[in-house]
Amino acid sequence: MPDEVNPAGVPATAMVPVAQIYRRDAPGPWWPAGIDLLQILWCPNEHWDPPAQQADASPVIDMRWRRAADVTRQLTPLPSPTRYGEDGYLPQPCSVTAEHVTDFPFREALPPELRPRLEELVHETGDGRDVITRLAGSKLGGWPTWHLTHPAVFPCGDCGTAMTLLFTVASDDETGVVVGRWGDLRIFTCPTDHRHAFQVDLH
């Protein structure tokens, strides 16, 4: 990060754990072969000139795909960041209980012949509200909401494949996380190779 006074930049600060997910708790197509632990971290500072795949005006995301058996040493106590941009960028420590749900995409993202059926399902289940598409909250997998912009597709910068939603960090009273204007920070990844660069988007 550049600094107004010192051209060498400001001192590095510890990244903050955002989510740790075990494969056994959330099996699904997003797990690469041999990997059973996903760790999502972020720098709790907005960077002036973030890398292209990061969202503007947001914490800067990093991800680690690991084998749980390789994690034999834990950092205790966790290092605290020496600087952070917003209180909402410091998630409250908590444990997560996995809940498996079916998430449907935004109607426009479906082939035209499937849209009437989805519309029926929304009416049948929602009591006037849509409670089955683009489910709100922090989630692994599922579909992104598009209530501010037209639906977008991010092509993988390495191979051109359309990226899919891997994880959503939602603004939430329980975790204390606030991103954007009570928004979601979404991580899109390449479905063909988890090592291809991911894309983060604030919505």
Give how many residues touch Zn ion by CB under 5 A.
Answer: 8
199 binds Zn ion (CB under 5 A): no
CA angle (131, 134, 135) in 5-degree steps: 55
**Residues in 146-175 that interact with Zn ion by CB under 5 A:** 156, 158-159, 161
Strand partners, 188: 165, 199
The distance of closest approach from Cβ of residue 156 to Zn ion in the complex, given in angstroms and rounded to an integer, is: 3
60-66/139-140 β-pairing: unpaired
Look at phi and psi of residue 31 and say left if phi exceeds 0, alpha if psi is from -120 to 50, else beta. beta
Distance, CA of 72 to CA of 68 (rounded, Å): 8
The distance of closest approach from Cβ of residue 139 to Zn ion in the complex, given in angstroms and rounded to an integer, is: 22
Structure tokens that stand for 202 in this block: 């604030």
The distance of closest approach from Cβ of residue 1 to Zn ion in the complex, given in angstroms and rounded to an integer, is: 5
The distance of closest approach from Cβ of residue 67 to Zn ion in the complex, given in angstroms and rounded to an integer, is: 22
Other beta carbons within 10 Å of 46: 18
Judged by CB under 5 A, the residue of 190, 199, 200, 202 near Zn ion is 190
E strand or H helix at 124: helix 115-126
Nearer Cβ to Zn ion (118/190): 190
Nearer Cβ to Zn ion (59/144): 59
200 binds Zn ion (CB under 5 A): no
196 binds Zn ion (CB under 5 A): yes
Q: How far is CA 203 from CA 34, 50, 143, in A?
A: 32, 17, 13
Nearer Cβ to Zn ion (71/197): 197
37-43/16-22 β-pairing: antiparallel
The distance of closest approach from Cβ of residue 81 to Zn ion in the complex, given in angstroms and rounded to an integer, is: 9
Judged by CB under 5 A, the residue of 16, 18, 42, 45 near Zn ion is 45
Q: Which stretch binds Zn ion (CB under 5 A): 43-51, 91-99, 146-154, 172-180?
A: 43-51
Q: How far is CA 159 from CA 154, 155, 191, 202, in A?
A: 11, 8, 10, 23
Q: Which stretch binds Zn ion (CB under 5 A): 36-44, 83-91, 114-122, 130-138?
A: 36-44
Binding site for Zn ion (CB under 5 A): 43, 45, 156, 158-159, 161, 190, 196
